[in-house]
Structure 1
């Protein structure tokens, strides 16, 4: 039971929510003439209890995104099936990087060369013989919002090239958090600009294929514009708990 709601009721509601999100993803992919297999759904489980993550997993979700390091580490320690992929999607401070490199499967929020170099050093210390490479996405502040982290769009090519030389990191693509707008159509140019930046990079960095963009309010438009990863929380788990 969570907040006095029986788990079977929560499961019923989440089953319907996940089915609706998956249907929306399929419709958006079809509209864009894309293969559904090109889009990965990441369930954003920030502030949600472990029981809800386990329910989502049992309903077929395999990718989960967390924003806060300490909260995430507790969940990962308690629940880590071999086929579950944990995504770090929140702002990452360098003083917390050591905990992240050993726990998460992919970091979507690398927003500076300094952070990438810190991750590289920490992985190298732990994986001298294992040959581990950590997949990362570069977070881009496409709309240049003062309140958000991320690389400036103009800085992406040079920073990506430098990070790509680090032997323990693999630049898998780009990520952005779009501005909050009343009409989701208003963020289409943001998604389009990120796709164009990715396309330019991919000509020289062949591993740079992913586009993580789109959340509950705008993931359908993000898919139409080329998203390969969408990060959906509220539409799966319901409103976030107070923090």
Structure 2
């Protein structure tokens, strides 16, 4: 089959089957835990119709990374009516994009600097957010430094935002186990700051993230296949 051959249509049954496999991966390292682990279906980079497939498969939350792409999917979201999943913005966000997204985003999951806190508080008072932590120290990666996290959480709270928890991403181009120290450090911060959500882990490092204490994993390719 050539690389230009059309890919088979993504069906609800296929996604449900992949979700069952994902649940098995999570259960393999979380059976002793009482706190449930939620899955955000990462629909970024996929056609808008994948959001409908995710909703039909039972997902209550989808994740998007790019403002313009998300805005192009608004009609699909609105058409779902009461079945519309909540939208989590999980990518690096420019402050000047907040105004465009206030009517679409339900959870701002990549808040990593005071200027973004101020803009969200101005445009969406009381909004629910996650503070993103750069737990790997990589240059150019989104997230505030581990040592700056408590201060940013406090600043967001003082601005009237609902800080639900922290989010982090494992190291780029490294094996899954390399993410463990950063994941464990973020989990400790979640506990120290009295937060609820610890969002970490993607398709490739779910087991490490869950073992370290993740309460939410963000999964795209393991559910929907490779992006075009």
For the criterion TM > 0.5, the same-fold answer is: yes
Aligned to 2:192: 200
The gaps in structure 1 that reach 5 residues or longer are: 125-132, 203-207
Could you tell me which of 63, 66, 85 is aligned with 1:65? Answer: 63
Residue 183 of structure 1 corresponds to 175
TM-score after normalising by structure 2: 0.90
> How far apart are the structure 2 equivalents of 1:87 and 1:238?
20
Residue aligned with 2:139, SS:
coil
User: 2: CA distance between counterparts of 1:5 and 1:177?
Assistant: 29
Distance 1:137 1:110 in 2: 6
Does structure 2 retain, via aligned residues, the 8 Å contact 1:198–1:211?
Answer: yes
Q: Which residue of 2 aligns with 1:229?
A: 216
Structure 2 equivalent of residue 75 of structure 1: 73
Taking the aligned partners of 2:175 and 2:109, their CA distance within structure 1 comes to 26
Q: Structure 1 CA distance, aligned partners of 2:167 and 2:8?
A: 36
Q: For structure 1, which segment, 214-223 or 12-21, has the greater mean C-alpha deviation from structure 2 after superposition?
A: 12-21
Normalised TM-score (structure 1): 0.85
Distance of 2:96 and 2:128 partners within structure 1: 19
- C-alpha distance in structure 2 between counterparts of 1:151 and 1:77, whole Å: 33
Matched, 1:219 2:200: no
Q: Which residue pairs with 1:103 in the alignment?
A: 104
Number of corresponding residues: 221
CA RMSD, Structure 1 to Structure 2 (Å): 1.7
Matches within 5 A, 1:19-34: 19-30=20-31, 33-34=32-33
The 5 Å alignment of 1:1-243 reads 4-5=6-7, 7=9, 10-30=11-31, 33-35=32-34, 38-80=36-78, 81-83=81-83, 84-124=85-125, 133-167=126-160, 169-202=161-194, 208-241=195-228
Structure 1 residue 6: Cα displacement: 5.3
